[in-house]
């Protein structure tokens, strides 16, 4: 379903009358049958969620994206579909990944919300939290009644955050006192708590803390005018003498290395998003190529347009195939940071290429979000740079393959 301007809708209706037989013959985009790898019950659930996302989320997301607004009203419906608890409801890793993929195909910002929520918030509290923290937060998180924000990046430290992190935590009279600043933090202005990574001044280790956002000294300012992921409310956060109970330290996160496995998986999660955005790109480009008439015939009739369509679908399918193999390695316990980094870097490089081809295919209409493609074009840039930039992930791969680190 492509979102078309009124005159296009009329033209499309006329064309559909004339070409109904040809339209009916258009095959599903999953040429390699990858969705079919899901077992029957998950496959049925997947199709139900897809229908909802395409019907309810995708059309409305353009307006929210343009206005940089968060669609709070969608949260109960997303919760109803189980998207708030993918991490802990016993879903297979393949299903979870394909959910991230399918949400991204409809809207990348929402897939960022669902992914960060499951991988970095629910996952961290479930695996690294205390019994009391799990009891306090998991029910609200699972039903999207409450949200968390993952606060690692700082104004002066992005790629070098592991070594450079400056936010401090000091245990004073049975309370942690947190000081510092965080930047780019997703949901930072709307979350109930932030999972803040800070350096314990006593032992210099980086630890994870639950900081409720209504604590005195916590302030979050929305970062506006982003070129992509505009629905996600990213924040600049200042932590000024924020006092939290001693019990707000995540017991399993008393060392940054403890979070490594979850950070590896969240890196790979972006690969599912990158595959999803490319299938979304193909959906839009194919519809447009069939509908837009130039030189008296649909664009789809021109060989160069067919080449672009074929390349976009090839990139998209290769990205999804890479992610399916990554999920298989995760299931077998074989996935390491190097594979996550390779999957993230490769799929986002291909996504950038695919959206550029899609944008060009729509000509002038490719530069306005009214035709949706420009939204995907901007979103792909974020995928390329967050959760470890393309360059940093490439350095991780090449270090593993040569034994030589080239970061500094």
Which residues make up the interface to ligand FAD (CB under 6 A)?
116, 150-153, 158-159, 184-186, 226, 229, 234, 382, 385-389, 391-392, 395, 407
User: Is the CB of 223 or the CB of 318 nearer to ligand FAD?
Assistant: 223
Question: Torsions phi, psi of 195, nearest 5?
Answer: -90, 100
> d(Cα 81, Cα 174) in Å, to the nearest integer?
41
Q: How far is the CB of 319 from ligand FAD (least distance, A)?
A: 20
User: Is the CB of 168 or the CB of 385 nearer to ligand FAD?
Assistant: 385
Q: How far is the CB of 188 from ligand FAD (least distance, A)?
A: 7
Q: Look at residues 242, 205, 241, 208 and name the one whose alpha carbon lies nearest to residue 130.
A: 208
User: Is the CB of 290 or the CB of 383 nearer to ligand FAD?
Assistant: 383
Q: How far is the CB of 24 from ligand FAD (least distance, A)?
A: 40
> d(Cα 253, Cα 121) in Å, to the nearest integer?
13
Q: Which residues, including other chains, have CB under 8 Å from residue 108's CB and lie 6 or more apart?
A: 228, 229, 273, 276, 277, 376, 379, 380, 382, 383
Tokens for 388, please give them: 């470890």
Q: Look at residues 371, 353, 229 and name the one whose alpha carbon lies nearest to residue 291.
A: 371
Tokens for 317, please give them: 């399918």
Q: How far is the CB of 407 from ligand FAD (least distance, A)?
A: 4
Q: How far is the CB of 400 from ligand FAD (least distance, A)?
A: 16
Using only C-alpha atoms, the chain has a radius of gyration, in whole angstroms, of 22
Contact 196, 182 (CB under 8 A): yes
> d(Cα 169, Cα 166) in Å, to the nearest integer?
10
User: Is the CB of 290 or the CB of 380 nearer to ligand FAD?
Assistant: 380
Q: In angstroms, how far apart are the furthest CA atoms of the chain?
A: 78
| Angle of the 373-385 helix axis to the 337-361 helix axis, nearest 10 | 160
Strand partners, 194: 149, 211
Q: How far is the CB of 100 from ligand FAD (least distance, A)?
A: 15
Comparing every residue's Cβ against ligand FAD, the nearest one is 158
Q: How far is the CB of 111 from ligand FAD (least distance, A)?
A: 13
């Amino acid at each position: 379903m492509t979102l078309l301007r009124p005159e296009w809708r009329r033209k499309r209706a006329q064309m559909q009358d004339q070409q109904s037989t040809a339209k009916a013959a258009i095959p599903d985009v999953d040429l390699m049958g990858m969705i079919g790898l899901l077992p029957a019950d998950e496959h049925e659930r997947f199709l139900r969620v897809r229908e909802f996302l395409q019907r309810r989320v995708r059309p409305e997301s353009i307006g929210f994206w343009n206005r940089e607004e968060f669609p709070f009203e969608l949260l109960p419906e997303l919760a109803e579909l189980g998207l708030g608890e993918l991490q802990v409801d016993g879903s297979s890793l393949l299903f979870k990944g394909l959910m991230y993929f399918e949400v991204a195909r409809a809207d990348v910002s929402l897939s960022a919300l669902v992914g960060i929520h499951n991988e970095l918030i629910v996952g961290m509290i479930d695996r690294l939290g205390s019994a009391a923290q799990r009891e306090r937060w998991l029910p609200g998180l699972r039903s999207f009644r409450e949200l968390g924000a993952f606060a690692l990046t700082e104004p002066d430290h992005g790629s070098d955050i592991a070594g450079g992190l400056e936010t401090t935590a000091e245990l004073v009279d049975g309370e942690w006192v947190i000081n510092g600043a965080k930047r780019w933090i997703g949901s930072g202005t709307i979350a109930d708590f932030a999972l803040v990574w800070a350096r314990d001044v006593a032992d210099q280790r980086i630890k994870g803390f639950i900081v409720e956002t209504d604590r005195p000294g916590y302030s979050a300012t929305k970062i506006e005018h982003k070129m992509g992921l505009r629905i996600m409310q990213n924040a600049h956060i200042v932590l000024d003498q924020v006092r939290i109970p001693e019990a707000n330290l995540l017991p399993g996160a008393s060392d940054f290395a403890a979070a490594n496995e979850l950070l590896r998986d969240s890196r790979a999660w972006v690969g599912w998003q990158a595959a999803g955005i490319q299938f979304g790109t193909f959906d839009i480009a194919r519809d447009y190529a069939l509908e837009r008439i130039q030189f008296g015939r649909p664009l789809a009739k021109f060989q160069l347009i067919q080449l672009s369509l074929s390349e976009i679908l090839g990139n998209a399918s290769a990205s999804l195939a890479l992610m399916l193999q990554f999920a298989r390695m995760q299931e077998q316990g074989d996935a390491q940071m190097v594979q996550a980094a390779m999957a993230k870097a490769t799929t986002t490089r291909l996504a950038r290429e695919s959206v550029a081809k899609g944008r060009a295919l729509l000509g002038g209409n490719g530069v306005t979000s009214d035709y949706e493609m420009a939204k995907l074009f901007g979103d792909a840039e974020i995928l390329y740079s967050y959760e470890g930039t393309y360059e940093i992930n490439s350095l991780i791969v090449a270090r593993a393959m040569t034994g030589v680190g080239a970061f500094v």
